[in-house]
Amino acid sequence: MALTDGTYRLGPSTARLLIKTGRAGLGRRAGHDLTIEAIRWSGDAVLVVGDPDRSSVSVTVETGSLEVREGTGGLKALTDADRAQIKRTLEDKALLHAAEHPTITFRSTRVTGTPQSFEITGDLAIKGRTRPVTVHGKRNGDGLLRGWAIVTQSTWGIKPYTAFLGALRLADEVRMEFEVARLEPADGPR
């Protein structure tokens, strides 16, 4: 994928957004490390290769579009019923308040580095709270743009999920990842 100056449209047809969770507590062996994917989202990237400070990224994710893709570890395999229950829990008032806060947004405030290794600093808004986040990215030899950021749930008022009277809980820190397979010009066909 050639990286040239321009404005590009982002979304599920060209990229993936993932959230990866971990486990904590005495009962952590019973639970699963989850990979959750946002399936309805959109964004724009303005790319100025020679002057990254003029580049920008904005992304909007539908809160209710988070789907469990994988669950590893645990004492038993993750079932479809487990996936459905996790989705209900994610959307519940205790976690993301999907009904009251239907979107999660990220707006860059600064881009630094090169297309091969870059950082995007910006404002992440979850549940009506906006906090700064730094996304670390790189372009691999295969041409894909990949990156990640660590998000501490409690910073946004999210109480990490617990079970078994708190013996099993999700770690407060989750890893958000992206992978861009191709860039689609914003003025191209929709």
67 belongs to a structural domain: yes
Q: What is the per-residue pLDDT for 58?
A: 97
* 1 domain residue, yes or no: no
Contact 115, 138 (CB under 8 A): no
Q: What is the domain-level CATH number for residue 37? A: 2.40.128.110
The per-residue pLDDT for 34 is 81
Q: Is 19 within a domain?
A: yes
pLDDT score of 101? 85
Tell me if 127 is assigned to some domain: yes
Give residue-wise pLDDT tens across range 29-41: 556 678 889 999 9
Query: Is 120 inside any structural domain?
Result: yes
What pLDDT is recorded for position 32? 66
Domain count, the chain: 1
Mean pLDDT of the chain: 84
pLDDT (0 to 100) of residue 160: 74
User: Is 97 domain-assigned?
Assistant: yes
Residue 74: pLDDT band (50, 70, 90) is low
Express as a percent the part of the chain with pLDDT over 70.
78
Q: What percent of the chain has pLDDT over 90?
A: 47
pLDDT digits (tens, 9 = 90+) for 125-175: 999 999 999 999 999 888 889 999 999 988 988 877 665 544 456 788 899
Please report, for residues 77, 79, 115, the alpha-carbon distance to residue 55 in angstroms, rounded to integers and kept in the order given: 43, 42, 11
Domain presence at residue 4: no
The answer to whether residue 190 is domain-embedded is: no
pTM tops 0.85: no
Show the domain range for 169: 10-185
Q: Which residue has the higher pLDDT, 148 or 183?
A: 148
Which pLDDT score is estimated for 11?
96
Q: Could you give the C-alpha distances from 103 to 20, 96, 121, in angstroms and in order?
A: 19, 10, 19
